[in-house]
Structure 1
Amino acid sequence: MTGPRPPGPKARTPLGHLLAFRRDVVGFLSSVAAEYGDVAWFKVGPIGVALLNHPDYVRDVLQTNHRNFLKGRPLQLARRLLGEGLLTSEGDVHQRQSRIVQPAFHAERIQAYGAVMTDCAVRWSAGWSDGATLDMLSEMTSLATAIAGRTMFHWDVASTVARGIGSALTDAMSLFSRASIPFAELLLKLPLPSTRRFYRAKARLDAVIYGLIAERRHETGDGDRGDLLSMLLLAHDPQGNGVGMTDTQVRDEALTLFLTALDTTSLALTWTWYLLSQHPTVEGELHGEIDRVLRDRVPTIADIERLDYTRMVFSEAMRLYPPIYAIARQAIAPFAVGPYTLPAGTLVLLSPYVMHRDPRYYPDPGRFDPQRWSAQATSRPPKFAYFPFGGGPRGCIGQSYAMQEAVLVLATLARHWRMRLVPGHHVAFEPLINLRPKHGMPMVLERRR
Structure 2
Amino acid sequence: MKKFVNWARTTICKPKDIVYPETEEEIIELVKLCNASKTPIKVVGAGHSYNDIFCPGENGVLVSLKKFNALEKVDKERHQVTFQAGMRMPRLIKLLKEEGLSISNLGTNVFDNVAGSCATGYHGSGINYRIFSNFVTKFEIITPTGEKKVITKDDPEYDIYAVSLGMLGIVIRITLQCEPYFKLKVVEKKMSFEAIEAEFETLLKENDHFKFIWIPHTRDFMVWTANRTEEPANGWWKMFKTYFVSGVIINNFLHELLLFFASFNRRLIPKVNQLMSRLLLPEKNVSVYPSHWAFFLPHVLKQDVVEYAFNIKDTFKVFREIIEMIEEKKIYVDAPIEVRFVKGDTFWMSPTQGEDTCWIGTKIHFPLGREPEYFRYFSEVDRILLKYRGRPHWGKQFRITTEEFKHNYPKWDEFWSFVEKNDPNGIFTNRFIKRLKGEA
Q: TM over 0.5, yes or no?
A: no
Which structure carries more helix by proportion?
Answer: 1
TM-score using structure 1 length: 0.26
Bigger strand share: 2
Higher RCO, 1 vs 2 (CA within 8 Å, ≥6 residues apart): 1
